[in-house]
């Protein structure tokens, strides 16, 4: 055990390393060099050491060997891949405390710990940030991310729609959590479950596969000329199919374009009316789009309208490690139906997991979500919301949108690049509909095939490749708290310009 005893000098070195990472200037390169990657791989232990290297040598190994092989994804505002947020200073500090305190937030024990109180308060504050009434969303918890939250959302929706169908033919409550999906559907007179959505994220199909709903049961019900929007007449027809229970999944917003499934309160009200008529559940996949509810400026009119009415849903998924800019991994989930949560997620026959004599409204997280063992993810969220407030987060999102629209305008004016998925016939309208994702391609088809790799090889910026209308495309996702149009736009335009010039010289 002697080599496990805390070494103050080693911990001071580690503290210095962490401090330098969080306070150092923005990294020039967003990706490691080939040499750094090779060295990091070669330095990995080839087998388990017998006596161990000791703490000091291990810290040196992590800092000098492995660290240089990691991308600056969340530490650089010039990393535009996937939808990758950073960590605000308050969140980063709190996350280090999470490791130091090492709490397991599973059972609500108010006489012993405040961990579950911190989680509940952070979720309540997050509700306020998103302009949701905390009292209307009593089933709430932090998750590992939007994938986990989507699993919870579809699980709750599955429980609800089968119970609703069962109530039509019987007074007995039918629970998937208790009976299993086959027996519950049989008793409810249901032959099929379906998830109706528009351009659904892959995690929604993954959730459907895990839950026995089936990936093939996720149906795209979108307009042909606007694939991000619902075809409401077609949706109604599918809801009317006999012997079928339905979950309506609203994409807020679509991952390639940043476009929203609804355009205003009227469409959400119609979805709510149809759901109530046919016993369906409305789930909003709002991984990053839900943050559009922070906006207030007329410059963001289309986004504000698209987010209006999302509060009419039964459940909402969101990601903390995207636009909330807290460390990985952190997602969140909200539902209006408190009573459904334990029917799906309760731990039966486990007296040792009892909450004891808790008299408040906070439910133990292990009985309303997937994990029984849970990191204290709430602390960075609580710290960041406390430090910056609603004004700080709104200003952060406004800067991200400002940069996105500046990039989109540059692409729209370019002779070499094409802005894709434009809404509106005029340039001003197209730019005004941009949220924080910009989809584009090179006009030269051969260059377009290599564009993503050429951008990445610059190491100055990073973006993700995708496909649009059967052809390769690229997307910027601006989601880091440090985004600054005056600093970042010249870097982006320089890289894109150099790629074209280099291509023309071939």
Q: Is residue 402 part of a domain?
A: no
H helices within 50-201, ranges in order? 55-60, 89-101, 115-129, 146-169, 176-179, 181-188
CA 21-484-382 angle, to 5 degrees, is 60
Rounded to whole angstroms, how far apart are CA atoms 71 and 215? Answer: 33
Between the CA of residue 108 and those of 117, 268, 333, what are the distances in Å? 8, 35, 18
Instruction: State mean pLDDT over 434-454.
Output: 98
Q: Is residue 64 part of a domain?
A: no
Q: Is residue 310 part of a domain?
A: yes
CATH number of the domain that 302 lies in? 3.40.640.10
Q: Is residue 303 part of a domain?
A: yes
The CB-based long-range contact list for 92-97 (8 Å cut-off, 24+ gap) reads 92/22, 92/327, 92/380, 93/22, 93/383, 94/379, 94/380, 94/382, 94/383, 94/384, 95/326, 95/327, 95/379, 95/380, 96/18, 97/379
Q: Is the pLDDT of residue 247 over 80?
A: yes
Q: Is residue 357 part of a domain?
A: yes
Q: Is the pLDDT of residue 506 over 90?
A: no
Contacts of residue 427, defined as CB under 8 A and 6 or more positions apart, other chains included, come to 409, 412
Q: What's the pLDDT at 31?
A: 98
Residue with tokens 């990053």: 288
Model-level pTM? 0.96
Q: Is residue 418 part of a domain?
A: no
Give the pairing type, strands 79-80 and 462-468: parallel
- Bridge partners, 142 (sequence order): 332
Mean pLDDT of the chain: 96
pLDDT band of residue 16 (cuts 50, 70, 90) is confident
Q: Is residue 480 part of a domain?
A: no
Q: Is residue 405 part of a domain?
A: no
Say how many domains are in the chain: 1
Strand order across the beta sheet in which 218-220 lies: 139-143, 331-335, 315-319, 281-285, 244-251, 192-197, 218-220
* 24-43: pLDDT as tens digits: 789 999 999 999 999 999 99
Domain residues for the domain of 287 are: 101-384
């Amino acid at each position: 055990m002697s080599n496990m005893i805390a070494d103050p000098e080693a911990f001071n070195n580690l503290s210095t390393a962490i401090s330098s990472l969080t306070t150092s200037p923005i990294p020039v390169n967003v990706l490691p060099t080939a040499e750094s990657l090779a060295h990091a791989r070669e330095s990995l232990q080839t087998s388990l050491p017998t006596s161990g290297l000791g703490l000091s040598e291990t810290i040196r190994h992590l800092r000098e060997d492995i660290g240089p092989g990691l991308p600056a994804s969340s530490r650089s505002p010039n990393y535009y891949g996937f939808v990758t947020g950073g960590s605000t200073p308050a969140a980063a500090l709190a996350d280090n405390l999470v490791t130091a305190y090492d709490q397991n937030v599973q059972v609500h024990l108010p006489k012993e710990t405040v961990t579950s109180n911190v989680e509940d308060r952070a979720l309540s504050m997050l509700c306020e940030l998103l302009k949701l009434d905390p009292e209307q969303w009593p089933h709430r918890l932090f998750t590992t991310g939007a994938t986990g939250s989507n699993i919870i959302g579809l699980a709750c929706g599955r429980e609800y729609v089968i119970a609703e169908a069962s109530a039509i033919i019987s007074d007995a409550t039918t629970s998937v959590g208790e009976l299993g999906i086959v027996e519950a559907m049989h008793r409810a007179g249901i032959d099929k479950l379906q998830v109706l959505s528009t351009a659904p994220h892959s995690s929604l199909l993954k959730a459907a596969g895990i839950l026995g709903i089936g990936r093939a049961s996720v149906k795209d019900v979108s307009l042909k000329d606007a694939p991000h929007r619902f075809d409401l007449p077609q949706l109604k027809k599918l809801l009317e199919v006999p012997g079928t229970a339905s979950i309506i999944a609203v994409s807020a917003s679509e991952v390639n374009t940043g476009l929203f499934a609804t355009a205003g309160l009227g469409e959400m009200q119609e979805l709510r009316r149809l759901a109530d008529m046919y016993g369906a559940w409305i789930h909003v996949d709002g991984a990053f789009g839900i943050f559009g509810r922070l906006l207030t400026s007329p410059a963001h009119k289309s986004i504000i309208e698209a987010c209006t009415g999302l509060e009419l849903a039964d459940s909402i998924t969101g990601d903390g490690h995207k636009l909330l800019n807290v460390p990985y991994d952190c997602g969140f989930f909200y539902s209006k139906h408190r009573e459904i949560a334990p029917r799906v997620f309760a731990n039966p026959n486990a007296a040792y997991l009892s909450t004891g004599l808790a008299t408040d409204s906070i439910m133990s997280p292990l009985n309303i979500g997937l994990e029984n063992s849970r990191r204290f993810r709430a602390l960075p969220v609580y710290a960041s919301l406390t430090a910056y407030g609603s004004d700080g987060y709104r200003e952060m999102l406004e800067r991200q949108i400002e940069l996105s629209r500046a990039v989109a305008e540059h692409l729209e004016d370019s002779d070499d690049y094409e802005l894709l998925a434009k809404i509106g016939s005029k340039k001003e309208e197209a730019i005004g509909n941009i949220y924080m994702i910009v989809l584009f391609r090179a006009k030269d088809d051969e260059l377009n095939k290599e564009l993503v790799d050429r951008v990445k090889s610059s190491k100055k910026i990073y973006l993700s490749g995708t496909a649009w209308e059967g052809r390769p495309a690229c997307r910027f996702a601006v989601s880091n708290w440090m985004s600054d149009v005056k600093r970042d736009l010249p870097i982006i335009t320089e890289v894109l310009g150099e790629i074209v010039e280099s291509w023309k010289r071939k």
